[in-house]
Amino acid sequence: MSLEFFSQFLLVEEIVTTEELAKASETLDLSDQRIGTLAVSAGYMSEEQASDLNKEQLQRDIPFGSLAIEQGLLSENQLQNLLSRQSQQHMQLGQILINQGVLNDDEVRDALARFAEVQSPKSEQLFKSIGPLSDCAAARYLVDSFPKMTMRLSQIHVKVTQGQKAAANPPNDYTASIALNGPGGVCVSISSDKQFARRIMDGMTRIMTGDANLGYGDNKDDFEDLLGGFLDIIAGQAIGALEKSSVPLKMGTPTFGTPPQGSYAFELQTTNGQATLFLATAA
């Protein structure tokens, strides 16, 4: 994962402060270090091919590098080379934090190890105390995959906190929901402020058009439509993955406004605004 993701991780996990990170980052080249960008820079693929892979990731839950190997655009050795270049920046930033007295060697090693495991499933802890969803395969998949998908689609690092019974009204201005219907079905909702919704919008327009600065509306309907499209992608990938586990579900259409009654709320810790993930059994 790129240096941007690692930097967000350090902030969200409260390993460093914004001021400490800014000071350390001043000495690093903060150019785009995503695998696709590195692959284009190295001459392994064209910008168009990298863009096509990004778009395909909207439909398939496969890392960029693995997808590139599958399609013959990267070899295993080339991918490992690109991943090594990413990791070097993480280690360089860690060494600077050590030199500046912010962290010690052990703290940097621990941060790097935790970051490497950031996509590991954690639903066992997150689902404590929310009995109705504890055995729901769809709910577990959505919680486990959500941080990975926000990183992939919009370059946002989020930490999902333990679920609890939701309040009557969503905590933020923009809310969208989508149902995965069928036995064991679930309704997933997201409620966010404008900063988080805008970052989601920037990421999705970057993937779909190649231009993260494309103009778009600025009213409530625009942001909620965007969040609905974001959930549509996440729900579609969930249905595809669960079908392989013999959990056949059908996706509904996005709805807007208050999440379903009886939802459980998972607050999302992020450096990009505020957002909450909601889950409820499908009606």
Q: What is the pLDDT of residues 221-240, one digit of tens each?
A: 888 888 898 999 899 989 98
* pTM, two decimal places: 0.70
Q: How many alpha carbons fall within 13 Å on the CB side of residue 281? A: 11
pLDDT at residue 122 greater than cutoff 70:
no
Q: How far apart are CA 264 and CA 97, in angstroms?
A: 38
What single letter denotes the amino acid at residue 34?
R
pLDDT tens-place string over residues 135-194? 888 988 888 888 888 877 777 878 888 778 887 666 688 999 999 999 989 999 999 998
DSSP single-letter state for residue 58: T
Quick one: 135 exposed, middle or buried, by C-beta within 10 A (0-12, 13-18, 19+)? exposed
Binned at pLDDT 50, 70 and 90, residue 54 comes out as: confident
**Percent of the chain at pLDDT above 90?**
25
Q: How far apart are CA 202 and CA 208, in angstroms?
A: 10
Closest CA to 282 of 243, 237, 246, 235: 235
What does the block give as tokens for 32?
């785009």
Kindly state the average pLDDT of the residues 123-131: 65
- How far is CA 276 from each of CA 103, 163, 266, rounded to the nearest angstrom? 31, 10, 6
pLDDT at residue 43 greater than cutoff 80:
yes
Q: List residues bridging with 164 in a β-sheet.
A: 265
Kindly state the average pLDDT of the residues 244-268: 89
Q: How far apart are CA 117 and CA 108, in angstroms?
A: 14
Binned at pLDDT 50, 70 and 90, residue 130 comes out as: low
Residue 281 · residue 133 · CB < 8 Å: yes
Residue 175's pLDDT is: 93
What does the block give as tokens for 223?
């942001």
pLDDT at residue 257 greater than cutoff 70:
yes
Strand intervals (E) in the chain: 158-160, 164-165, 174-181, 186-192, 250-251, 255-256, 264-270, 275-281
Q: Which domains does the chain have, with CATH numbers?
A: 3-116 (no CATH), 123-281 (3.40.1550.10)
Report the mean per-residue pLDDT for the chain: 83
DSSP single-letter state for residue 262: T
